[in-house]
Structure 1
Amino acid sequence: MQPVPYLFFNGTCEDAFLFYASVFGNAPDFMRVKGSPMEEHLPPEAANAIMHASLKIGSGQIYGSDDLDPTPGAAMAGCNVMVELPDADTARQHFDALSKGGEVRMPFEAHFWTPGFGAFTDRFGIRWMIGTEDGAP
């Protein structure tokens, strides 16, 4: 059993997953509202919304969806997607790519527990932590 982060977006799920795919090098899978049993329960403008998306990242994956709740809510908060990469150079490359256009909360740098770690909120409002698999410096 492995937990899978499920991310919710305000209509930008497809853009976000295509962006994440460009960084991690895997193609996302999308399931749209159109053609699903959900289509009859939602307004016509929701037909192209993403009902479910998945993207493989290393040996794990992330899922996502456009938030189809008719009551608009706040941006997703209180959760971070943590990705550990093999070394500091690779982790920094992913940190730089994913954080572009977002807000860096903790710059990527060496810490007492790792050769590299940083945290940010990406341009889609998703909070990330990027670190390394290798041990302390």
Structure 2
Amino acid sequence: MTLKITPFINLNGKAKEAIKFYEKALGAEVLSLITYGDMPEVPDMPITDELKDLVASAKLQIGESEVMISDVPDPTHVQSSKQITIGITTNDVEKSKRIFEALEQDGRVDMPFGEQPFSPGFGDVTDKFGVSFLVYTEVQN
């Protein structure tokens, strides 16, 4: 049996912008993208003009992992307590550093990238969308 954990990021109307950002910063590939306008209308949830272009569900491939991204119809459902931390692991310090620097653009460095006792290159950064990333370099044996 295979068990895979996929982070799911909920945003308030910025999913398309986030997807473009992750394509550039992380080399993400869009595997699927469905807007609310693409979905059949449900009587209990009418699709307003404001919702039609928002992302209902998108799946991104980042390296060997997948991430799901969505815009929530009701922005009050996305709270700071729902933040997701995503771990990104490489086996190359320079690659880890490039990823860290790309994610920190217009974001916030929570722990500067550098050598740690447990990793030759590690840093904690929150991107401009409020998503926290731990960039970790595996120790090479």
Q: Is the TM-score greater than 0.5?
A: yes
1:47-58 aligned at under 5 Å gives the runs 47-58=52-63
Q: For 1:59 and 1:131, how far apart are their aligned partners in 2?
A: 15
Distance across 2 between alignment mates of 1:39 and 1:70? 19
Q: Where do 4+ consecutive residues of structure 1 move more than 3 Å?
A: 70-73, 75-78
Q: Kindly report which structure 2 residues correspond to 1:24-103, keeping only aligned pairs within 5 A, or say none.
A: 24-28=26-30, 29-38=32-41, 41=45, 42-69=47-74, 71=76, 73-75=78-80, 77-103=82-108
Number of residues of Structure 1 aligned to a counterpart in Structure 2: 136
Q: Are 1:55 and 1:61, in contact at CA under 8 Å, matched by a contact in 2?
A: yes
CA–CA distance in structure 2, aligned partners of residues 76 and 38 of structure 1: 31
Deviations 1:66-96 (A, max 9, x none): 0123645424645301010121110000000
Secondary structure, aligned partner of 2:109: strand
Which ranges of structure 1 fall in alignment gaps of 5 or more residues? none
Q: Matched residues in 2 for 1:59 and 1:87: separation?
A: 15
For 2:138 and 2:23, how far apart are their aligned partners in 1?
21
TM-score scaled by structure 1? 0.89
Distance 1:102 1:23, change over 3 A: same
Whether 1:113 aligns to 2:118 is: yes
Q: Equivalents in 2 of 1:38, 1:19: separation in Å?
A: 30
Post-superposition offset of 1:135: 4.3
| 1:4 corresponds to | 6
- Unaligned 5+ segments in structure 2 are none
2:17 equivalent in structure 1: 15
Identity percentage of aligned residues:
27
Q: State the TM-score, normalizing by the size of structure 2.
A: 0.86
Contact 1:101 1:122 in 2 (8 A): yes
Task: Quote the RMSD (CA, aligned, Å).
Answer: 2.0
| Offset, 1:125 | 1.1
Change (3 A) 1:39 1:30: farther
